[in-house]
Each structure stands twice: as C-alpha cells, then as structure tokens.
Chains A and B, each alone.
Chain A
C-alpha cells in the first residue's frame, strides 16, 4: 500500500502523504461508515442477530493505521473490529455476510460479529475478551523477531482495556523483549456505558501510562486520518527497524452506543453534537477539497461505496446459511471434533 506513488497536489506544500493515499484514506473511511450504517439498518430488520459493536465516528483510526501498514503486517482487533477488518481490504460482503451469519461470511457464520478474521488479509482475529489480544500480538511480533521476518503486529483496543491486567503484562513484555508491535488505543471516552475518566487513575488511560513502561507518551487526534496515518507510519517504521514497541492513544468518539443494545442515554446533552462537528469523514472531505480534489471525484467515491454496500447486502440476503455439517468442523486440526476413539 505504501508503495503507491504519490500524486502531488499542486500548490500545497509539505504533502508528505500524497493524494493517492489521501483518496484511499477517504475511500476506506467511507466504506467503513457505509458498511456499518448498513449493519445497523440490518439489525433493525432482524437480519443481523446476536450483537454488534460499531465504530461509527472512529473510522479515521482504522483507516489511518491500515494504510500505513504493509501487506504482510498483522492486525489484531477487538469485538469492535468491523472497521479494522474492512480497512485491511476485506470485502464488505464477507464482513456483512459474517454479521448476518450466512455461508458467504468470512467464517461462514461460525465466528460472528465479534470474531472477524481474514488471515489472507493479515487480520489475525478479533478478540472478544478484553485485553487478551495484546499478549497475542506480542507473540506474533516475537515470531517475526525470532524468524527475522519484517512484519509488524498491530493491536487495536479501546480505552477500557487499559484497566485490565493483560494490558500491563503485554506492555512490559513487549518492551523487555523489544518486540515489533504497535499498540493502538482508541479512547472514545466510554469503557462501555461508564465514562473512562470515572474509573481510571489518570486522565489519558494509555498515554499517561506509557512512561511506566519506558515508552514515549503519544496522544493524538484520532479523528484526523492524516494524523493517525503519520503517527502509525512512524511507529511501524520504528518497530520494523528493531527499535521496539509503541503505544499510541487516539482521541475519538463513538457516535452510537457500546453495542446495539445500548442507546447511549448516559451521554451528557450536547456531547454527541460537539463530536459530530469533528466527524472524521466530514473533516477528511473538507481536507480533500482543500487539496484540490474536485467535488465530483469525491462524490464518485461516495457513490461507489454505496453501490458496493448495496450489492454486498443483496448478495448476503441471497446467501444461504452454512450447512449443518459445519457445527462440528475445525474443533481440532484434523478438521473434526473427535475427542475419543
């Protein structure tokens, strides 16, 4: 992805990112937004069962980091992982198909919304037990270090994760072994329903703890995809050069509740409105116009995204459920579930 040649925008100096990547950043954010809004609609039509945790409002982080990554880099996501999965290039159909628990889904319905995985895209799983995937990302990074492979493991998690033990174990571990891993904390201000500030000893749950592990304090605007992209690039390069892990806290805001069951009534009046002004997609659309991208080029990206999501939706609706045999496949490596002879 980084190999793409930058198309310089005329008259705008210091464009280290380049227009091609900028268009990709916008395209990715719009794709995530449209796909997740569709997921929300499908819930209300009872076509998605179980649960779902949306990243509406947080798209700049998934997009900015993913576009800074190399194809071989590995992503480790949480149950709020639709955005990060799509950002690595997974198709909307495969993602929505999994949410709808259909045979065309990423895991043919066996994992569901909280466990999106696409190993071929480097999406090494979405983990629904808070904190677990930080040590797991360390292990992937250890493998790269041990084998001399050049990929970096990137681990996304929320602010709430900073209060569980695995977060602290993983950070210490990553630093002492100098592992090529990048930890991305998405601070959307709420652990689930409770404000993170009410339950955390420091103001910035990740950044303010970095010093405890000898790490640089990195606190950025998570709603500006350019800022995220630049910060992630630097951290990935540091990791790839053998200079160890980074911990990046991205400030952002969840436009919707924790999960589909949560109308987010605990938010103070006016808070959502204030953050909607800082909507990452709104910010980035304006940025593209500033960089001279024509309105119709932007509109074409948006129309294409809607078309893709519409087509994916229809394909998912048309897809059957997985065959019943799938119930007992892949419990063990022989493909089956036999625990006795």
Chain B
C-alpha cells in the first residue's frame, strides 16, 4: 500500500500494462520526453523508450487515426488528447471511425484502443480548455466511456480499458491530478461497467462522476451532520457500459435520486440515468429526480465565476436538503 497521486497513477497504470503486453504503445503531444503537460506520463519514455512512447506533432487527427490503424491491425495503442476540448478537432475518429468499424465490417475488424483526455474544469483555463465532454462521447454507440475519480480507479480502470477489445474513451479529470489516494501494491485490474458505492446511506441516492465524486462525498457528510439526511453516494465510474443495477438497487432502498454532473445541463449523462430510473423505478421514488449540473453556459476563466458554475458541495447540500424537505426542486 502506498499513497499515490491521480497523476502518478496514470503513469503507473500505463507502465503496468506496457510491461505486461508488448502490443501496448502510447502516443500523443509532449507525452514522451516531456512526460505530458500535466506530468501524468513521467517516466514512461525512460522505461519503454521511443519505440513505444512517442511524441507526435500537433495533429489530433493523425494521432487518433494512427492509433486506430494500429489497433485494427494488432496493437493496443493508447492515445492522448491533451485537453478533452481538442476532441472536437478529431471528432471524426471518435464519432465516425472507431465506434462504427466493427459494426460496418460485420465484425471483421475491431478497434481496441484507449483515448486519454484531460477533461473537466476548475483550473481557470476558460471556455476551450475546461469542458467536461463525457456526454459528447457517451452518446455514440460503439464507444465505451470511463471517468475515474481516484488514483486506484485510474489504475484499475485504465488496465481494464487497455485490455478491452473495444475503443474506450478514458476521461482523466485535470482538477483531480493532484489528489492523493491509497493504492495497493502489485497489479491492479478493475472491471468496466461497474459503479461503486462509496458511502452507504438510507435516505437519498447521489450519483456522481469524476471531480463531482469528492464534492458529493463532502456534501453527504454535511447533509448527515447538519441536516440529518443520510445519503448513499455512488461513483458511476463508467458511463458505457453503465451499471444501472447498482443505481436502481440504491434507489429502491432510498427512494430518492440526485445526479451531480459537471457537464453542461442539456443531454448530460445524468439525464439518461434519470430517464432509466423514471422508467424502471418510478414506483420506488418518493420524490422528484433532481439533476445538479453546470448551467448550460460556456465556462468562464474567472475563478469566482467558474466556481459559481461548477456544482460544489455547498450547492449539493442546498439542493438536496431543500428537495428532501419537500420543496419543489
């Protein structure tokens, strides 16, 4: 057991898989010699060399296209899209190429690759370097979408993503890179499509993802201490495949559902979960399903405005306590 940062967990996960499987290769902008702009891939170039850890030009289409061509002919590439926002300049590969290949070719070809993105806000980078794009990727049939919230999950889910035979978009949260967590020694491999109950509770279910997970946990402690509301907090972890069982079972127990989403409101991932719960667990509900999201705005750079936009513990406490006390949301 050791304490590791989320950023160091990324490098450890990739190293774990590269040691295990020669087919695993890694490419991206400034990822090799510089160790990544977020320093999440430090040491990989030194350990695995320039044949397996490769710096690329600023060519996101070439990066993802090359990863795909390598994946469909036998390698297990990991590609980095430095800021998730840049996915928009190579969205063809994410939307049209990776996820359609297996289907269109009737299973002749597959695309086992991982795209890592630096996702999410909170770093005062403004509207084009702060977005949470998990909902962009969730809506595309054929992709798998993961967003870990802790160092141990980074390792386990990254390993699962690399070993998976489908294209996986792996959203790392920029504002989580510095957090620390306990990580067991040895190989860690998790399972995609599994949510985790991080705090059991009986009064309300809060589902959250990535940076929203620690904020939901913090809110749950305040809700328990100051409002007597005992919340169950679920880290969704994997949007596709989605572990609906864990969520539905929790709602069956608590009768209340709140989602905490960093993506802007429209078509956020929580809307899908709300829809599933409304369809399949309506009679378990004792009150409205409430989504706590970033408003439908681009993100500002100014710290006080960005803080106002992203859901935080205070806002979660305020919304949950009001709704639980019978107010309309």
A residues bordering B, Cβ < 8 Å? Answer: 74, 76, 106-108, 110-111, 115, 117-119, 124-125, 127, 129, 131-144, 146-147, 153, 165-166, 169-170, 172-173, 176-177, 326, 329-333, 335, 337-341
Contacts and interface: CB of A to CB of B under 8 A. Distances in A.
A335 B108 CA distance: 11
B61 A166 contact: yes
Nearest to B65: A135
A341 B245 contact: yes
B187 interface: no
A134 B65 contact: yes
Given A125-B109, A153-B69, A330-B106, A135 B57 contact: no
B62 A110 contact: no
Contacts of B97: 127, 129, 132, 136
B165 A333 contact: yes
Contacts of B240: 339
A333 B110 contact: yes
Given A74-B73, A173-B59, 10 more contacts: A115-B104, A135-B61, A139-B73, A139-B77, A173-B62, A326-B106, A330-B103, A333-B102, A333-B166, A341-B244
B102 A132 contact: no
Contacts of A139: 65-73, 77
Contacts of B62: 135, 138, 166, 169-170, 172-173
Contacts of A335: 107
A146 B70 CA distance: 10
Interface string B139-158: 00110100000000000000
A303 to B, nearest CB: 33
B65 A138 contact: yes
Interface of B: 25, 51-52, 54, 56-57, 59, 61-75, 77, 92-93, 96-97, 101-110, 112, 141-142, 144, 164-166, 193, 240-245, 276
A135 B72 CA distance: 13
B148 to A, nearest CB: 19
Task: Name the residue among A110, A135, A137, A177 with the largest chain B CB count within 10 angstroms.
Answer: A135
Contact of B92 (A117, A132, A141, A147): A132
Given A166-B61, A166-B62, A331 B102 contact: yes
Contacts of A135: 61-66, 68-69, 93
A106 B276 CA distance: 37
Contact of B74 (A110, A127, A143, A337): A143
A140 B108 CA distance: 16
A269 B141 CA distance: 47
A169 B25 CA distance: 20
A307 B149 CA distance: 63
B69 A137 contact: yes
Given A146-B75, A332-B166, A339 B66 contact: no
B104 A176 contact: no
A172 B96 contact: no
Nearest to A115: B104
Contact of A140 (B52, B70, B110): B70
A11 B110 CA distance: 51
A137 B68 CA distance: 9
Contacts of B71: 139
B144 to A, nearest CB: 8
A193 to B, nearest CB: 22
A330 B59 contact: no
A172 B59 contact: yes
A17 B2 CA distance: 66
A169 B70 CA distance: 16
Nearest to A177: B54
A79 to B, nearest CB: 12
A166 to B, nearest CB: 5
Which are the 4 A-B pairs with shortest beta-carbon distances?
A135-B65, A139-B69, A333-B165, A139-B66
A337 B112 CA distance: 16
Given A132-B92, A139-B71, A341 B193 contact: yes
B12 to A, nearest CB: 23
A331 B69 contact: no
A74 B109 CA distance: 13
Nearest to B108: A119
Nearest to B141: A331
A117 B109 CA distance: 9
Contact of A341 (B64, B66, B70, B243): B243
Contacts of A338: 241
A136 B69 contact: yes
Contacts of B164: 333
A141 to B, nearest CB: 7
A184 B93 CA distance: 21
Contacts of B141: 331, 337, 339
Nearest to B96: A129
Contacts of A76: 69
A111 B105 contact: yes
B241 A143 contact: no
